[in-house]
Structures are given as structure tokens and as C-alpha cells.
Amino acid sequence: MELWRTRHAISSTPELGPRPDTPDDAAAWDDLDARVRALSGRRRPLHLPPPDAPASVMIAAALDHLDAPPPAGPLPDHPALRDPFGVAPLSYRALDARTARRALAAVLAGEPLPESWMEEITAPGTDDEDEDEQRTYTKLLTAISDYRRRHHRAGPDPLGPRPAGLDDDEWDHLTDAIDLYTHARVQHRLSQVRARTAAERAALLQPTSPLRQPPPELHRPGPAPPAR
């Protein structure tokens, strides 16, 4: 929801704002609205940092959330989790991690992402100070890739529709992680914009700048000095 509100410059109305008129945006609005309504009906408690928390706190919360497994049952009996000998190969998780690393490399190089659904996840910063964001982004994409493979997901929506039954906890878990990471990225961007604006204002208003010079003292009317 934070990403939708940021992309569509929604600030004066709550939640998703009015439904767009264009077909593509309207379809995306309908899908997101359905997800919000589904989550509001049955939702695991999520301990969020306060809204004014620094971006670093939000990033740490997202990492902690991804490290904690969802309260779900055993994994579905999917053929991709078994090899012909009945052993679950570890290589699938490694492939997911490699795909996530390729996505991060594409972001850092300014190149197209490997898969279309990755466009829906806010890209991290590209500076050296953004390493925590980049690590969270990679971990988040790895978890989403694993979910999409096991649940036969395709298309631009990262998670697809919310499933019913035992699988909804995992969907909720990843949705929470996406929300935490997106909120942290937005907060970080806002703090960067504020810092850049303050620096530009300070550069324009240097002590020697004409804008900071005191106004010239005007002649005040009064009695004329005595004549000699």
C-alpha cells in the first residue's frame, strides 16, 4: 500500500485512494484492494516499529521478520521439492538466491531485472551506505522466488492472490516482509531528500551570501546636528 500511495502521489485520502480510470491501474487497484480486505479479515499480529522510526530500524525489522519462519504447516508435496530418488535437493534454494543476486546486480548496473514481478518490489539504494537495504532486498527476493516456484506463481504479481487454508500464513508472512521493506525504503528516500534539500539551502545561504547580508541601515529622521 505504501508503494501504491507513493507511485500515485496519494496524500489527502486514506488507504488506496479513488479507483483509477485507466484499465491497467484499475485492475491493479482491484487486486490490491482485494488483498487489503482479505488481510483485514484474518491477520496475524505484526509488531511494527513506530511510524516515525528511522529507516535503519525498519530495515532491521524486515530482516528479523524474514529470519523468522511463518507459522505454517509442512511444505506442500510439490514435485519440485523432490528428485527422482525422493530426496529434496538443496539446489533449488541456491537457484533462488542466485536469481536474487542477479536482480541486485541489475539494479546496481541500471539494467533490466531478470523477471517482470521484480519490478513490483522497490529497488534498494545503490550507494555504499545502502548495504543493509541491498541485503534485505536480496533476501526478500530469494524468499519470494522460493514461494513462487513452490506455488506455481506466474505473472507480474510477486505473490499472486492470497491462498486459502494453511498456505495463507506464508502469504501473510511474505506480505508483511514486503510492507516492512517498502516502508523502510520510502523512509530512507525521504530522509535523503530532506538532507539534500537542507544542504542545498545551506550552500545558498552562506554567511557571505547576499541573501544573508543585513539590510542597509536607513536614515532615521530627527533633529539636525547643530551648525558650527
For 6-68, the three-class secondary structure string (H helix, E strand, C coil) is HHCCCCCCCCCCCCCCCHHHHHHHHHHHHHHHHHHHCCCCCCCCCCCCCHHHHHHHHHHHHHC
Query: Which pLDDT score, from 0 to 100, does residue 77 have?
Result: 44
Query: Which pLDDT score, from 0 to 100, does residue 189 have?
Result: 83
Q: Identify the burial level of 185 via C-beta atoms within 10 angstroms of its C-beta, where 0-12 means exposed, 13-18 middle and 19 or more buried.
A: buried
Query: Which pLDDT score, from 0 to 100, does residue 34 have?
Result: 65
Query: Which pLDDT score, from 0 to 100, does residue 139 have?
Result: 92
Query: Which pLDDT score, from 0 to 100, does residue 196 have?
Result: 83
Query: Which pLDDT score, from 0 to 100, does residue 137 have?
Result: 93
| Amino acid type, 211 | L
Region at 152 (left for phi over 0; alpha for psi -120 to 50; beta for the rest): left
Residues of the chain whose pLDDT is less than 50?
A: 41-45, 72-88
* CA atoms within a 13 Å half-sphere pointing along the CA-CB vector of 160: 16
Query: Which pLDDT score, from 0 to 100, does residue 226 have?
Result: 62
**Full-model pTM:** 0.59
Distance of CA 132 to the CA centre of its chain: 13
Residue 103 cell numbers, joined: 536482480
